[in-house]
Structures are given as structure tokens and as C-alpha cells.
Amino acid sequence: MTRIRVDAAEVAELGVALAETGAHLCLLGDPGAERWALGPGETGPAVEELLGGWRRVRLSLAEALAELGGAAAGAGALYLETEGGVGRSLRGGTW
């Protein structure tokens, strides 16, 4: 039989770490301001397009990490609540 052990505190900590990582991604500076260093020509617009794509992906990833962080924090709390309820039921207490 397969057993899965879940540490509720670690799941909650994971949620916090994911949310913090997403927040840090949001705070990264936008390197598009440095485009002027490339001067005129085709390189500048190409780099600008690349950086714009990176910005969109970075912000999308930050949003996804925030959602995952919230879900993990919520799951950790539910695991703690469930473990407490199971413990009380084994001692004859109420949920």
C-alpha cells in the first residue's frame, strides 16, 4: 500500500515561498529603458520586442505563483484542520 505523508506546515511554507517569488518577479525592473544603448537600426526594435515578451511572461508567471501560493497556504491550513479533527475523533472529542 502506498502511503503519502503530508506536512501541513511545509505545505503552508511552500505557499508563502511561492507568493514571495511571484512578488519578486513583479518587482524586477523593466530593462526596456536600456534600448537606447543599441542606437538606431533593426536591433533596437527586435530587443524591445523580446523584452516586451519577457515582461508579459514574467508578470503572468508572477500571477500564477501568487495563485499557487494562496492555494498551497489554504491546503496547509486544511491539512492542519483535518489532522486536528482526526486527532479529536480518535480521543472521542467532537469535530
> pLDDT value at position 67?
92
Distance, CA of 10 to CA of 47 (rounded, Å) = 41
Name the nearest CA neighbour of 46 among 17, 38, 20.
Answer: 38
Q: Identify residue 43 by its one-letter amino acid code.
A: T
Q: Identify residue 17 by its one-letter amino acid code.
A: A
Residue with cell 536591433: 43
Q: What is the pLDDT along the chain (95 residues), one digit of tens a residue?
A: 888 787 888 888 888 899 999 999 888 776 666 666 777 777 777 777 777 788 888 889 999 999 999 898 888 888 888 888 888 888 875 55
Distance, CA of 18 to CA of 12 (rounded, Å) = 10
Question: Can you give the residue ranges of every domain in the chain?
Answer: 8-23+41-85
> pLDDT value at position 64?
94
